[in-house]
Amino acid sequence: MSSKKFLKIIITAGPTREPIDKIRFISNQSTGTLGFELAKEARKRNHNVILISGPVNLKTPKKVKRFDIITTIDMQKEINKRFAWCDCLIMSAAISDYRPKRYISGKLKKKKSQISLKLVRNPDILETLGRTKKDKVLVGFALETDKLIQNAKSKLKKKSLDLIIANRKSSNMNPFGKNKIAGYIIDKQLKVKKFSNISKSQLSKRLLDSIEELCYT
pLDDT digits 0-9 by tens, 57-95: 999 999 999 999 999 999 999 999 999 999 999 999 999
Q: Is residue 137 part of a domain?
A: yes
Q: Is residue 1 part of a domain?
A: no
Find all residues with CB under 8 Å of 217, minimum gap 6, and list them.
2
- Which CATH number does the domain housing residue 143 bear? 3.40.50.10300
CA count, 13 A, side-chain hemisphere, 24: 13
pLDDT at 178 over 70: no
Count the neighbouring beta carbons within 10 Å of the beta carbon of residue 62. Answer: 9
Q: Is residue 29 part of a domain?
A: yes
Q: Is residue 3 part of a domain?
A: no
- Average pLDDT value for residue range 148-160: 95
Looking at the annotation, which residues are catalytic?
28
- How does residue 172 score in pLDDT terms, banded at 50, 70 and 90? low
CA count, 13 A, side-chain hemisphere, 62: 3
Which residues constitute the domain of residue 137? 8-97+119-216
Q: Is residue 2 part of a domain?
A: no
Q: Is residue 78 part of a domain?
A: yes
Q: Is residue 111 part of a domain?
A: no
